[in-house]
C-alpha cells in the first residue's frame, strides 16, 4: 500500500519513517550526496549498527522520489563525479517530513529517558568526572 500524500499534505501522514529512509534523510540534511556515499555515511553515523544494502538503498530512494521527499540533482563538480552515480538532495517537502520525524523521535527519546531506560549522554559524561 502506497502512502504518497499531497506535497501540501500533513507530514505526520508519512510517520513513522523506516530507519533506512530517516537515515538517508539525515545524511542528505548535510547536503546532496550519491548512493554509495550515503551508505558509507549511514554506517559512520550509526557506528555500524545500521547497514543499508544496495537493494534497500534503491527501494528507499525510489520510494522517496515518488513521495517527493528527495530529488535527483546534478553534482556541483561534474568532473569528479562518476556519471553513473545518482545524486540526491532533500526537497522542501523532504525537509518538512524530516523535521516532523526528528520531533517524533526526540519526543520518544524523552519518554525513554523519563522511564529510566537510558540516561542522556551529558549525564553519562558528568558521572565519569
Domain spans of the chain, in order of start: 17-128
**Does the pLDDT at position 2 exceed 60?**
no
- Give Cβ neighbours of residue 40 (< 8 Å, ≥ 6 apart): none
Mean of the pLDDT values across residues 30-53? 96
Q: Mean of the pLDDT values across residues 7-12?
A: 82
| pTM above threshold 0.85 | no
Among the residue ranges 23-27, 59-63, 83-87, the one predicted with the least confidence is: 83-87
**What's 2's DSSP letter?**
-
Q: May I ask the CATH architecture of the domain 17-128?
A: Orthogonal Bundle (1.10)
| pLDDT, average across residues 55-75 | 95
Mean pLDDT, the chain, integer? 87
The per-residue pLDDT for 115 is: 95
Which positions ≥6 away from 27 have C-beta within 8 Å?
Answer: 33, 37, 38, 41, 42, 45
How confident is the model over 116-125, as a mean pLDDT?
A: 72
Q: How confident is the model at residue 86 (pLDDT cuts 50, 70, 90)?
A: very high
Diameter of the chain measured on Cα atoms: 52
Amino acid at each position: 500500500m502506497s502512502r504518497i500524500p499531497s506535497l501540501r499534505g500533513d507530514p505526520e501522514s508519512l510517520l513513522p519513517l523506516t530507519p533506512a529512509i530517516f537515515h538517508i534523510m539525515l545524511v542528505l540534511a548535510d547536503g546532496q550526496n550519491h548512493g554509495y556515499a550515503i551508505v558509507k555515511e549511514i554506517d559512520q553515523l550509526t557506528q555500524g549498527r545500521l547497514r543499508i544494502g544496495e537493494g534497500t538503498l534503491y527501494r528507499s530512494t525510489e520510494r522517496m522520489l515518488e513521495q517527493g521527499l528527495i530529488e535527483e540533482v546534478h553534482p556541483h563538480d561534474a568532473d569528479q563525479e562518476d556519471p553513473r552515480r545518482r545524486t540526491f538532495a532533500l526537497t522542501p517537502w523532504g525537509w518538512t517530513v524530516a523535521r516532523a520525524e526528528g520531533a517524533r523521535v526526540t519526543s520518544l527519546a524523552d519518554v525513554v529517558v523519563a522511564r529510566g531506560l537510558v540516561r542522556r549522554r551529558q549525564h553519562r559524561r558528568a558521572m565519569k568526572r
